[in-house]
Amino acid sequence: MDLSTPHPELPSVATPSVLPQGASTVGLSAWADIDLTAIRDNVAQLARLAGDADVMAVIKGDAYGHGLVPVAGAALAGGATYLAVAQLAEARAARAAGVSAPILTWLYPPGADLAGAIGEDLTLSAGAPWALAEIAAAARSLGTTARIHLKVDTGLGRGGAWREDLAGMLVDAARLEAEGVVDVEGIFSHFASADVPDHPSVRAQQETFAAVLADADRVGLRPRLRHLANSAATLTNPSAHLDMVRPGVSIYGLSPVPDIGGPTHFGLREAMRVTARLIAVKDCPAGQGVSYGHQYVTPAETRLGLVPLGYADGIPRHASGVGPMQVHGRRYTIAGRVCMDQVVLDLGADSPAAAGDEVVLIGREAAGEPTAQDWAAAIGTINYEIVTRLGPRVPRRYLEES
Ligand SMILES: *Cc1c(COP(=O)(O)O)cnc(C)c1O
């Protein structure tokens, strides 16, 4: 690929449709209520836990499925002073929607439109020598100073510079800062196992980061924002808070350490609620195979309920036979296979359910409803994936206390 050609248009960021606050849900197959007040309160709680450290709210992946722009506003209302996304397109979508707070973006390939990003006052992560060189070239072409955060790999083994690359970048960054080409506002790294607080790698990465900060200081770099703590470290490891914490999943009221405690344990509450409506309820004899492959066979005469959500909506196909749902206060697991657009529940012969009744897929831990964590545990994944994959076919309805 020829990287010297002009940049293609940035892809737009796909977003689900939005229902007005208080809109009726009659006639909808399913919808997700997103409680922006919960997000605001969660950020405020994280800010309290972080003490003197600032909060950078991570809103990548359409804010973990909760909606980039509304969540940006709620996080800032809760006291976040910085936002972070993965892709440039996400950062630019936030700017296009009028979000003016500082935004860090850390995932772009060579040839990305960094001049455009600098022009929109985005903060660029520099995690490789080529990235620093491209940022410098873009800033020079604009005759301006690019605000950057150096990204260090302290042992995650993923993004960020290490070893000779890092040593060279610190020297180059100091020189570029002296020339006024970049402002090294921050320096950051990311944990491999912060969700296992006493894992030896946690301490080792903190020590490596401290050594890198000393190296940076020796070449004359004094970044004002040193940051390391994701949600797990924000909640469990005050020694990693430094100047700013960088929580993602916890701002949505999900626990990154479910074995230690759920959201309530940490003073957080879930922001996403997913509800569907039964589109059919029908009587069924014993011995009837249900859904593709007939993996489930009714053990007795019963009533089947059809739920109009499937893997096209982000219901994992691996949740076949195990995904939890609640109807009229009773907990069920999906009967048989998850299809593209629907799943079936065996409601029991005595169920009062009728077509149009509500089915709770993701609710509140405190109310005893199925949660994203229950789904994750049922299929062997993490709650992050459950909420983030909720598809754009499910409209979002934002709730906010006025
Ligand atoms: C996603 C991400 C975070 C947020 O992690 P959570 O576990 O969701 O709090 C923080 N920093 C980086 C670099 C990330 O990629």
pTM for the structure as a whole: 0.96
Q: Is the pLDDT of residue 40 over 60?
A: yes
Per-residue pLDDT, 7: 53
To test the pocket of ligand 1, the residue of 230, 249, 268 to mutate (highest count of ligand atoms within 8 Å of its CB) is: 230
- For residue 201, the one-letter residue type is S
Per-residue pLDDT reduced to its tens digit, 212-255: 999 999 999 999 999 999 999 999 999 999 999 999 999 999 99
Beta carbon of 58 within 6 Å of any ligand 1 atom: yes
Nearest to 36 by CA among 3, 68, 9: 68
Q: What would you measure as the largest C-alpha separation in the chain, in angstroms?
A: 79
Q: Is the pLDDT of residue 399 over 60?
A: yes
Task: Determine which one of 60, 108, 296, 384 is catalytic.
Answer: 60
Give residue 169 CA to ligand 1 midpoint distance, Å: 23
Give residue 82 CA to ligand 1 midpoint distance, Å: 14
Q: Is the pLDDT of residue 182 over 80?
A: yes
Give residue 59 CA to ligand 1 midpoint distance, Å: 9
Partner residues linked to 54 by β-bridges: 244
Q: Is the pLDDT of residue 277 over 50?
A: yes
Per-residue pLDDT, 358: 98
Please check if 331 is assigned to a binding site: no
Q: Which residue in the block uniquely carries the two structure tokens 């831990």?
A: 365
Partner residues linked to 186 by β-bridges: 149, 225
Q: Is the pLDDT of residue 9 over 60?
A: no
Give residue 67 CA to ligand 1 midpoint distance, Å: 17
Beta carbon of 149 within 6 Å of any ligand 1 atom: no
Per-residue pLDDT, 1: 47
Beta carbon of 155 within 6 Å of any ligand 1 atom: no
Q: Quick check: is 151 catalytic?
A: no
Per-residue pLDDT reduced to its tens digit, 56-100: 999 999 999 999 999 999 999 999 999 999 999 999 999 999 999
Q: Is the pLDDT of residue 15 over 90?
A: no
Which atom number of ligand 1 is nearest to the Cα of residue 250? 9
Nearest to 308 by CA among 333, 282, 283, 275: 275
To test the pocket of ligand 1, the residue of 43, 45, 56, 58 to mutate (highest count of ligand atoms within 8 Å of its CB) is: 58
Give residue 206 CA to ligand 1 midpoint distance, Å: 16
Going by alpha carbons, the residue nearest to atom 10 of ligand 1 is: 230
Per-residue pLDDT, 266: 98
Please check if 158 is assigned to a binding site: yes
Per-residue pLDDT reduced to its tens digit, 327-384: 999 999 999 999 999 999 999 999 999 999 999 999 999 999 999 999 999 999 999 9
Share of the chain above pLDDT 90, in %: 95
Beta carbon of 248 within 6 Å of any ligand 1 atom: yes
- Contacts within 8 Å (CB) and 24+ apart, 92-96: 92/10, 92/116, 92/117, 92/120, 92/122, 93/12, 93/13, 93/68, 93/69, 94/59, 94/68, 94/69, 95/120, 95/121, 95/122
203: CB partners within 8 A, 6+ apart = none
